[in-house]
Amino acid sequence: MSQLSTVVLASGNPGKLREFQALMQPLGVRLIAQGTLGIPDAPEPHPTFVENALAKARHASAHSGLPALADDSGLCVAALEGEPGIHSARYAQTEAGGKSDEANNRKLIRALQGVTDRRAWYVALLVLVTRPDDPLPVIAQGTWDGTIVDSPRGDHGFGYDPHFFLPSEGLCAAEMDPARKNAISHRAMALQTLLSQMRTRGLVT
């Protein structure tokens, strides 16, 4: 199987694109966002991260004719029985404020008012397909343990990063240097697993 040179990222999220580009560039893989190719977002009707990621990867590959990388990621909070989970990006979409990081964070903090158990996990589920009907997708998962704090901190990152506190770092994810975050985040851990599998299959060196 030939090595990958160009891969479509099945996401329109600019934060994810920046992170993935920084992680993939050293491998000589050019990553392009599906939106630049006019590819619409795929439906995400499934109840699990892995099913949604696979659906998005196959969708992007079918529309582009190229290998595609998708992730389904989110924040799972222990006290909320895993929510927002797969709904993380659109957690507050039905409320005033619509689909935005700010609205999502406001809803999360409201939901945790008076709750002492603040354990939370960022989850990243990555899927790479070499073609739409790839019978052996490359699948990898990473998790990042933290806690939720009420007051936002930091100006970096996106999503729930201003409220996701990492005891091991003494910082919220949004306070971290982007290079440090890219080295230890849930997405970085998932990508390292993904890359190991890609090397085994000869997709990258």
Give yes or no: 72 in active site.
yes
* Residue 75 · residue 118 · CB < 8 Å: no
Pairing of strands 6-9, 68-77: parallel
Alpha-helical (H) ranges within the chain are: 14-24, 49-64, 101-111, 178-184, 186-200
As a whole number of angstroms, the distance between CA 50 and CA 85 comes to: 12
Cis upstream peptide for 84 (omega within 30°): yes
For 183, phi then psi, to 5°, come to: -85, -25
From the candidates 41, 71, 72, 134, which is the catalytic residue? 72
Cis upstream peptide for 14 (omega within 30°): no
The residues annotated with a catalytic role in the active site are 72
